[in-house]
Each structure stands twice: as structure tokens, then as C-alpha cells.
Amino acid sequence: MSDAATLRKQLKIKSGSAKRLYKEHRLYQKEEEDLKRKLDKFVADKAEDWDIKNTRRMLEESGKMITDSAERLGGVMQELRDLVLAAEHDPELAEDEELMKAREALEEVSV
């Protein structure tokens, strides 16, 4: 396989990974917000201790997953940026569809 074909394949893989990890990261953030509301409601309603403790534990776990997904997303984004720069210097890939998709993924995830 040529360098251009390898680069094209890596662009496709990393673009997909970045989009998937971004979606995962947003889901964990939403879950954390929902759990915070749920915990506040339990505390306000003076729910059972077990419910409050369990919700706090789940909230803590969501926080860990947000940190983990952010780190993984950051790594993939850096790899994707490097691949895009390499592809931009390859005349064979200058206007390639996978390069355009990779640029779109970078813009989408950076927002």
C-alpha cells in the first residue's frame, strides 16, 4: 500500500474515532448533569441514605469517565491534526474526500 493510501486510511480511522469519542464525552457530561439534578432532588426530598450515597457514587464515576474520555479525545485529536498536516503536504491528497472529512471532524469536535 502506498503512503497516500495508508494516510487516507488513517485519516478515515482517526476521524471516526474523534467523532465517536466526542459523542461519548458529551454523553458522560449529560449524565453528570442529570445525576447532579437527581442528587439535589434526593437531598431536598430527604430520600433514603442509600439512594443519596449511591447517586453520589454514580456521580463520582461519571466524573472519572469524563476525565478519561477527555484525555482519550485529546490524544486522538492531536493524532488527527498531525495526519491532516501530513496529508496537506501530499499533493496526491490535496483535495481528497477523506482529508475534507478529517477537517470537518476537527472543526466539529473543536467546537
Q: What are 9-38's pLDDT values in tens digits?
A: 999 999 999 999 999 999 999 999 999 999
What does 33-97 look like in DSSP terms, one character per residue? HHHHHHHHHHHHTT--HHHHHHHHHHHHHHHHHHHHHHHHHHHHHHHHHHHHHHHHT-GGGTT-H
Instruction: Collapse the DSSP code of 89 into the 3-class scheme (helix H, G, I; strand E, B; otherwise coil) and give the result.
Output: coil
The pTM (predicted TM-score) of the whole model is 0.85
Q: Name the residue with higher pLDDT: 47 or 67.
A: 67
In this predicted structure, what is the pLDDT of residue 96?
84
How many Cβ atoms are within 10 Å of 12's Cβ, its own excluded?
A: 17
- Ranges assigned E (strand) in 1-111: none
At position 24, the amino acid (one-letter code) is E
Mean pLDDT value across the chain? 91
